[in-house]
Structure 1
Amino acid sequence: MTDIELVKKALYKGFIDKSIEGSKLDPKFIVNQPEKKDFFLNVLQEEIDECRTFTFSVAFVTQDGLNALKSHFSDLADRGIEGRLLTSTYLGFNDPYVFYSLLEIPNLEVRISQKNGFHSKGYLFEHEDYQSFVIGSSNLTMNALKLNYEWNILLTTRDHGEIISDIRKHLEEEWVQAVPLTKQWIASYEQEYKPRPKVESVSLLTETDVMEKKSYIYPNKMQKLALENLKELRESGAKKGLIISATGTGKTYLAGLDVAQVKPKHMLFIVHREQILNKAKESFQRILGGPDSDYGVLSGTSKELQAKYLFATIQSISRDKNLQQFSREAFDYVLIDEVHKAGADSYLKVLDYFAPKFLLGMTATPERTDNFNIYELFDYNIAYEIRLQEALEEDLLCPFHYFGVTDYETITESTELKYLANTERARFLLKKINYYGCSRNDPKALVFCSRKEEAQKLCQLFNEQDAKSAYLTGDHSIEERERVVEQLENGEIQYIFTVDIFNEGIDIPKINQVIMLRNTQSSIIFIQQLGRGLRKDPSKDFVTIIDFIGNYQNNYMIPMALSGDITRNKNNLRKDTFDTTYITGPSSVNFEIIAKERIYQSIDAVKLDDVKSLREIFKNLKNRINRVPYLKDFLEHGVVDPSIIATKYCSYYDFLVKMNENEGTITPEENKQLMFMSRELLPGMRRHELILLKALLNKPVITTTDFQELLLDEGLNSDTPTILSALRTLSLEFYTGSSRKNYSGAELISYHDKKIFRSTAFERALKNSYYAFLINDLLGAALIKNAEYETEQPLTLYRKYRRRDVLRLLNWQEQMVDQNIGGYTYKDGKFVIFMTLEKGENFKGARMAYEDTIIDPQHILYYTKSPRTINSPEVKILLEPADWEIYMFIKKSDDEGTDFYFMGTVNPIRETIHELMKPTQDGTKRSVVEAEFLLEHPLDSKFYRYLIGIQ
């Protein structure tokens, strides 16, 4: 279909008849809907990615609004595409910082309108054969792009349309009259510019954004709830409590507020770094008041042991000569900061010595890799927990803009130092760093490196490029670290290069840029490093995170860490890379295209069910819940997709045996039943089998009528084909070939005379209480998983399915071997197509190169098997599909595995169906039939762009 035909269809649908088939160019009414993760920003990014050039005319621009588009502008620059932006000085809204930031974008020409009252908001995009434009209320600010209630309309038109001609003519007139943006112009503007007064929110407070009234500090929302929980915990008789709270959310103030409500006679606050002591003491003084003599420090340089409120380093308090100066009951209340370190001997020694009325531990990262159980130390009393995503939602942290950018050449984990730290790479890094910038253009950055030598050498190279820098490693003393941090805060230097030492336990609120020049070692370390800049401070409006992504094996951890999804499900990780709308509020996540492809490659290549990782996940959860975790526990705590851990071996029981954690034994026959259920039922794709098995756990026989009533009670389809399909699944009649052989003996039911019976083996197995417990757990987990799927339809849009899952859910009586299905199969009014987009240069799955493709979000081009002609049975169906439902499934490549995304139902476009000859691998030609299909549900734009891999 030509673009002019698409435009006509779009206009007809948008302005005459909404019921007709539209096109990718349909008009769109755009409103920010944060609850649906649907934003004007998404539309703007998509239009930028697909355009040949663009012109924006917007009155107001902010640095954060610009940040949301910078990686997209960078990708356009790589393709040689340029754009223009016309803005203004209206109301003094645009500050000099944003004008300097605009100058850093090489493929963006900027001019300043001289028109009084310039208040336009328009975005014009030129595509191959049509124009699109957005006109509405949104300026180029992050609030307008994501948060504010704004109205915008997206329209498309041909080049010769009157509206677009008028817009372009007017824009050109304004452009000619406008003044080019230059450094000289900004310098002049800067002299006259008067910053607008900012309206600060006082409803949510952090340690550096605190409201005082009559010398009283009011807790923020998180702190109020935590204080209530701590009070209830103590009233229940508990003597210990644990606070899990993201860095920057006000843990120290929370501790002080809790001390204020407890009113202990003596308090001990333990930290692991001396430089934290004085800041903690100052925070407590602001909350508790009283004379200075009430507050004392125990450290290498101070021993104020008689103080009412004592702040001590662990190094000092754990020394025998200091510890023994206190009685065991000397302190009513003991607090430990960064308590995940409490597994060290020094901490355990102190904790064993003192017997306070209440012990409080605080940490952002309770998960450990050293086998120490923090939860056990605090009697499993989690008083409050708030992680990164929740803290962002509650506005407790500074907004951040994460940029996943492409590293210099082909940096890997094993790259030699001479390639990591040389003049060329330093220049490349600085160019990228300057491009992505920071709040108010005054960098105060931490740069995390992979090794000490790299940090030292890059520091030297940055200084040679007039980027004032210092480096710190574990070899530097506390005094040296404090001196360098002070230099950064005072503006004497801009960058601190470091390895490891700033991952945690350091408070530099002024940090406005975090630069990552290392492989992501773990999600925990990633969040720790990102979190160094998230503390709010009046000196910054946001934090810039610049992650240089090389060809690292661990790149898959990046979307895992950013999204907080640690289920180790590859499909989730892919989605969290191409669709980053999970980030809340005015924060954003953007990847350059090449960096994104490197993440996809890592996801495809990684083995997410390696025993070491699963063992660590298992132990962490066991530590948290104080018992052996089962499949439902993994789901409820969101730590791993239970299907991954249950199918690592034959069943989850086998995994428990390997961990030496099984709490009973089962027979090989019973284990085979669990294997079948784990592989076929645990994903929760259909509820029917699960409901039937739950019923049979309580009764050895039920009637088909009872089963039908159970389904009706659940609002599920209870027709005869679906019921029969569920019965054939559980009796194994559905399965053929290797599946039938593998599952033989695992039949769970038999049925006849309108009655459903437990199989003899199932009946025997249920006498084993441990087996019964395991199957109950598995069915419970599967029912929870089922919430991810539609219940009114057999298949759920954009979910992934194996070929045999599709046939089962569509009520095929019998499984077909995958090889026999190939690209499609059809039967009883159902035509199922399986399509692989990227087959590779040496595709061995067919005799010829099939060029199946997604034309646009609504149209798919597909080729039949060969040899086929216009008279072949399947082609006749496509020509006359009235009595057939056609289902389309697609996967990007074989690297993604054997399952396919469900695209929905499709309709063949009759006029596109024709026979042609294509060359085969042996040099001959064979006949195939080409056809275009129209998707009933146009593809989600982000998903569409992921599948086709726009470059």
Structure 2
Amino acid sequence: MNEPLQDAILSGLYDSTYPGHELLSPKLLQNMKDDNIWLTLRQELLSCQSFTWAIAFVTQDMLVPFKVVMADLARQKVAGTLITGNYLAFNDPKVFHELLKIPNLNVRIAQKDGFHAKGYLFEHEDWQTIVIGSANFTRSALLRNYEWALKVSSRENGALTQQVASQLQELSKDSQPLTLDWLKEYESGWVRPQVQARPRQAPAPEITPNQMQKAALKELQGLREAGQERGLIVSATGTGKTYLGAFAVKDFKPRKFLYLVHREQVAKKALASFYRVIGGDRRDYGLLTGHKHELQCKYLFATVQTLSQDDLLASLAATEFDYILIDEAHRAVAPSYQNIFAKFKPAFWLGMTATPERMDDQDVYRLFDYHLAYEIRLRGALEEKMLAPFHYVGVEDYEVDGQSIDETTNLRNLLNPERVDYVLQQLDYYGYCGDCAKGLVFCSRQAEARELARLFSARQHPAVALTNEDSENRRAQVVDQLEQGKIEYIITVDLFNEGVDIPALNQIIMLRNTQSSIVFIQQLGRGLRKYPGKDYVTIIDFIGNYKNNYLIPITLNQDPSRSIDRARAESKLPGFIDVSTINFSQVASEKILASLDRIKLDSIKELRQSYFDLKKKLGRIPLLLDFDRYGSTSPTVFANNQSLENYGQFLVKMDEQVQLSRAENAVLSFVTKELLNGKRPHELVLLHLLLTQDKVSQNEFEQALHNCGAYVDAAVLNSVDAILSLSFFDIKQGKTTKKAQYGNQALVERPDLFTYKLNPQLARSLREHDAFKRLFNDAVETGLALNREYDNQQQFTLYQQYDRKDVCRLLNWPKDVSAPMYGYRVGKGETPIFIIYRNETKQQRSALYHNTLEDGRSLRWYTRTPRHLQSDEVQRLLTTPQMKLHILVKQSDAVGKQFFYLGQADILQETVREEELGPKKKAAVGMDLLLRHPLPAKMYELLFVE
């Protein structure tokens, strides 16, 4: 480690052109879009042998993700020390209580006056890393705030390291251990630091729409202006759905308005909210419930049970109301609601719901003419800070007789006393925000819920089971007991998936298999409504050997890609939605990865379900662009599916009436397979122009490329010609060519050097065949939409994924030579190098080469064998002026054809040497390649950490 450390210090502190060691080089840490200070601290924790931190301020909201890491370290017998204090009484006593729960953490209380340090020291095998800066151990500081922290690595005898270590030793010597006696004394005298309060007489602020509500109101206005009479808003629980409805009604200025819901309590709350927004005479607001019939009021808030009574309905005119809002609109498929739909003829019906997807396949969207005006989903609501943040923890479920819980586990094992003790230990360890636990536990069976409630209560954690056998009054009583702190847990099956608000919840516990993404989000969302004093909610998911485990990271990250690569990354690495965190223990992560190995995310079965879900939402055949906008599946999944040539073929499999000629099918397959991924916009831009113009000049084409921020040069224009003439694909593959599969005919012709035209047959098909034109245009539009993820000023976008054929195209090569390329191909001025970091079998050729990333920035790489220093290929690689080396890496062949682009690299000439590799001692040339862009911590962990 001595040489790399020396190189790192020289590079970081003396000369940036010196080839340094990225993982060890001095670095300024900041919180950015795809990186944050916590990711670096986490990486250091997972690789260290011990650590000592001196941190003045610690907040409870950052301890949950920290505890996940510490639990993994405990299994590896790794421990650490945290020195903190009571300066300014910032640290809440609850923080100290939570720190005491971490068995492999030695907590000490600094005795120095004004203790305000912020330093992290990590002990590695023969070196140390320190992180010092402005960041305390708080959620805001480590995830979001504008903070600076300097990371430096050094040998133990380095002066800086010795100085820091000496200070920590002195601090530790002058500190005292955190004990219950010290904590009791601190707690008795602790007063919460006061934040600057508003003036007492300040008037209540006017309620105005937030950004997402403004967007929804604009869409509703557009629907009304288009003459539509119905619209649906999907708004996650806790996102101000009632206020949004009030803003919409205020804009409409109705003669008489009806608000319809299924519970009187909800109707009363809505009345108060509408009055706050709309104002006016309080006597204009009335109730229509079992207890009150204030039918004369301008703004009427009714329960469906009362309004749907036959005699009452008959007494009202069809035009009684000119605006009707149905809350919890997913219930509107019920007969009582249908009678109301049949009776009234308002100018506009507005439906609002958090959960339009129903497990009974009833079509909520149809009730509102498939006019989905706006969606405020969970991720967007969290990013807009409309909900309380959460810390999700996926932990492994208890093992009974060496067997983990799965779908077939009998009730006796689910209720094993040792499992119950284990569950309660985890609930206590990961904790909650607040003075006492107010948790909702989801389990799989009613008998399990009742017995778990008994066992929890017997262990001094009062709990009550609620099932669909309990009355509304009983449910309300138990919820009230939980809110008042008389019980700690409600244990249920599916009763509280939606429709019931318990804002005080601070824990959600999942003791069941994740059978559905819909139910998972519904259950998670129960705890996200904001509540005084609730800074976050803890979600604890007990993960057994369930076949559907793969759904968990995909659903939490709202990832529509169905990419195994991305799902693996989401299972291994922490996720973030604003300051909410997603964390898996190492064992839980392994269980999810095992589930991923057993599922084919892009199977026709999976795509069929996704297709019909979206068709039900839209009320028509979805196009690929609809999947990009609304769906749970990325359009690229259809394009990459090996059993599908194009989306038209998929529609036929879905029993839709789509007829394409052989030539049309070939053209649509080409656009789908080669262009729709959006990795380069050039061909798509030209086709988009030619869909509306008979011919396009080169100047028009170049201007359109400039308008979308795409680079333009002679090489890329020649490449576009090669792609759209299909000459790029004129490579033998078995008995035919890829060009033949795509119809053998150019899509675009060049009548002269400065003009582009569609070939006559394609132009005629687009004019005469509406179905083909719709599918062709959809593929082009979708490709342009997907191109938003790429930097069009460059050939490649850092950390995006490409396969070998993509690289041939983006390097503007005249032919697709991806098939024989394997590990690399030395071009005239550019050389792509494909590295499989972890090879699965010793038999693979590339397993001989031991490609490594020893220092986070430079890779030891070898040419193919046999090669010598004087080989033509090697000489061209080493001596071509300004040769560009493009580095693409994937972890193993198991993750598919796609490689992550890590940027360009430079050859460190002094490391080039001829070596003998493998058992047969074949000659190859090895060299170190220095990445020009240091890897972010997340990318390094994804690709290079086992």
TM over 0.5: yes
1:443 aligns with 2:437: yes
1:525 and 1:104 mapped to 2: Cα distance? Answer: 32
Change (3 A) 1:673 1:141: same
* Selected match of 1:127 from 121, 124, 129: 124
Change (3 A) 1:757 1:598: same
AA paired with 2:345?
A
AA paired with 1:221?
N
Change (3 A) 1:849 1:232: closer
What residue number does 1:13 align with? 11
What residue number does 1:208 align with? none
Note the alpha carbon deviations across 1:4-38, whole angstroms, 9 max, x for none. Answer: 333333333333333443322222223434xx344
Q: How does 1:637-648 map to 2 (within 5 A)?
A: 637=630, 639-646=632-639, 648=641
Change (3 A) 1:107 1:815: same
What residue number does 2:776 align with? 775
2:888 and 2:373 mapped to 1: Cα distance? Answer: 46
1:354 aligns with 2:362: no
Change (3 A) 1:830 1:230: closer
1:860 and 1:813 mapped to 2: Cα distance? Answer: 30
2:823 and 2:332 mapped to 1: Cα distance? Answer: 57
Q: Contact 1:132–1:157 at 8 Å: present in 2 too?
A: yes
Note the alpha carbon deviations across 1:616-640, whole angstroms, 9 max, x for none. Answer: 4444545555554333333344653
Instruction: Point out where structure 1 has 5 or more consecutive residues left out of the alignment.
Output: 203-210
Decide which moves more: 639-648 or 303-312.
303-312
Q: Contact 2:557–2:575 at 8 Å: present in 1 too?
A: no
* Selected match of 2:601 from 601, 608, 618: 608
Q: Contact 2:355–2:498 at 8 Å: present in 1 too?
A: no
Change (3 A) 1:13 1:928: closer
Q: How does 1:635-784 map to 2 (within 5 A)?
A: 635-637=628-630, 639-646=632-639, 648=641, 649-661=644-656, 665-694=659-688, 696-697=690-691, 718-735=712-729, 736-738=731-733, 739-749=738-748, 754=753, 758-759=758-759, 761-770=761-770, 771-784=772-785
2:762 and 2:254 mapped to 1: Cα distance? Answer: 60
1:646 and 1:894 mapped to 2: Cα distance? Answer: 20
1:439 Cα shift? 0.5
Secondary structure (helix, strand or coil) at the match of 1:440 reads coil
What residue number does 1:949 align with? 945
What residue number does 1:592 align with? 585
1:948 Cα shift? 2.0
Q: Contact 1:336–1:360 at 8 Å: present in 2 too?
A: yes
Secondary structure (helix, strand or coil) at the match of 1:826 reads coil
Secondary structure (helix, strand or coil) at the match of 2:108 reads strand
2:676 and 2:875 mapped to 1: Cα distance? Answer: 39
1:514 Cα shift? 0.7
1:417 aligns with 2:408: no
Q: Contact 1:801–1:902 at 8 Å: present in 2 too?
A: yes
Note the alpha carbon deviations across 1:632-659, whole angstroms, 9 max, x for none. Answer: 3333446532222345522122223333
User: TM-score by structure 1 length?
Assistant: 0.88
Q: Contact 1:212–1:218 at 8 Å: present in 2 too?
A: no
1:298 aligns with 2:297: no
AA paired with 1:156?
S
Q: Contact 1:747–1:761 at 8 Å: present in 2 too?
A: no
1:745 Cα shift? 3.2
1:432 Cα shift? 1.8
Note the alpha carbon deviations across 1:35-57, whole angstroms, 9 max, x for none. Answer: x3443333322322322211111
Q: Contact 2:397–2:543 at 8 Å: present in 1 too?
A: yes
Decide which moves more: 872-881 or 356-365.
872-881
What residue number does 1:852 align with? 851
AA paired with 1:790?
D
What residue number does 2:86 align with? 89
Decide which moves more: 745-754 or 884-893.
745-754
What residue number does 2:100 align with? 103
Change (3 A) 1:145 1:200: farther
Q: Contact 1:403–1:592 at 8 Å: present in 2 too?
A: yes
Change (3 A) 1:930 1:414: farther
1:181 and 1:563 mapped to 2: Cα distance? Answer: 38
1:601 and 1:856 mapped to 2: Cα distance? Answer: 30
What residue number does 2:556 align with? 562
Q: Contact 2:394–2:543 at 8 Å: present in 1 too?
A: yes
* Selected match of 2:169 from 168, 172, 175: 172
1:66 and 1:565 mapped to 2: Cα distance? Answer: 26
AA paired with 1:21?
P
* Selected match of 1:389 from 379, 388, 399: 379
Note the alpha carbon deviations across 1:873-905, whole angstroms, 9 max, x for none. Answer: 545555556564332222122221122222222
Note the alpha carbon deviations across 1:849-888, whole angstroms, 9 max, x for none. Answer: 5533332321223344445555555455555565643322
1:605 and 1:403 mapped to 2: Cα distance? Answer: 23
Decide which moves more: 545-554 or 221-230.
221-230
Note the alpha carbon deviations across 1:96-134, whole angstroms, 9 max, x for none. Answer: 111101111111110111222211111112222222222
What residue number does 2:20 align with? 22
Change (3 A) 1:214 1:381: farther
Q: Contact 1:878–1:910 at 8 Å: present in 2 too?
A: no
2:705 and 2:245 mapped to 1: Cα distance? Answer: 52
1:251 and 1:813 mapped to 2: Cα distance? Answer: 55
1:247 and 1:277 mapped to 2: Cα distance? Answer: 16
* Selected match of 2:261 from 260, 267, 271: 271
What residue number does 1:793 align with? 794
Change (3 A) 1:783 1:228: closer
Secondary structure (helix, strand or coil) at the match of 1:553 reads coil
Secondary structure (helix, strand or coil) at the match of 2:412 reads helix
1:243 aligns with 2:238: no
2:685 and 2:180 mapped to 1: Cα distance? Answer: 70
AA paired with 2:92?
D
Secondary structure (helix, strand or coil) at the match of 1:104 reads coil
1:282 and 1:596 mapped to 2: Cα distance? Answer: 46
Secondary structure (helix, strand or coil) at the match of 1:554 reads coil
2:324 and 2:695 mapped to 1: Cα distance? Answer: 60
* Selected match of 2:210 from 210, 218, 221: 221
1:680 Cα shift? 0.8
AA paired with 1:688?
H
2:909 and 2:587 mapped to 1: Cα distance? Answer: 39
What residue number does 1:207 align with? none
Q: Contact 2:286–2:294 at 8 Å: present in 1 too?
A: no
1:378 aligns with 2:368: yes
User: TM-score by structure 2 length?
Assistant: 0.89
Note the alpha carbon deviations across 1:245-288, whole angstroms, 9 max, x for none. Answer: 21112323444566677776865443335664555566567776
Note the alpha carbon deviations across 1:819-851, whole angstroms, 9 max, x for none. Answer: x333233343443322222322x4554396553
1:831 and 1:332 mapped to 2: Cα distance? Answer: 68
Q: How does 1:408-487 map to 2 (within 5 A)?
A: 408-409=398-399, 410-440=404-434, 442-487=436-481
* Selected match of 2:141 from 133, 141, 144: 144
Q: Contact 1:73–1:107 at 8 Å: present in 2 too?
A: yes
Note the alpha carbon deviations across 1:79-103, whole angstroms, 9 max, x for none. Answer: 2111111111111111111110111
1:181 aligns with 2:178: yes
Change (3 A) 1:883 1:361: closer
Secondary structure (helix, strand or coil) at the match of 2:825 reads strand
1:293 and 1:633 mapped to 2: Cα distance? Answer: 42
Secondary structure (helix, strand or coil) at the match of 2:474 reads helix
What residue number does 2:905 align with? 906
% identity of equivalent residues? 42
1:919 and 1:26 mapped to 2: Cα distance? Answer: 33
Secondary structure (helix, strand or coil) at the match of 1:439 reads coil
Secondary structure (helix, strand or coil) at the match of 1:189 reads helix
Q: Contact 1:422–1:461 at 8 Å: present in 2 too?
A: no
Q: How many residues align?
A: 929
2:748 and 2:245 mapped to 1: Cα distance? Answer: 58
Change (3 A) 1:444 1:520: same
What residue number does 1:314 align with? 304
Change (3 A) 1:215 1:161: closer
AA paired with 2:826?
Y
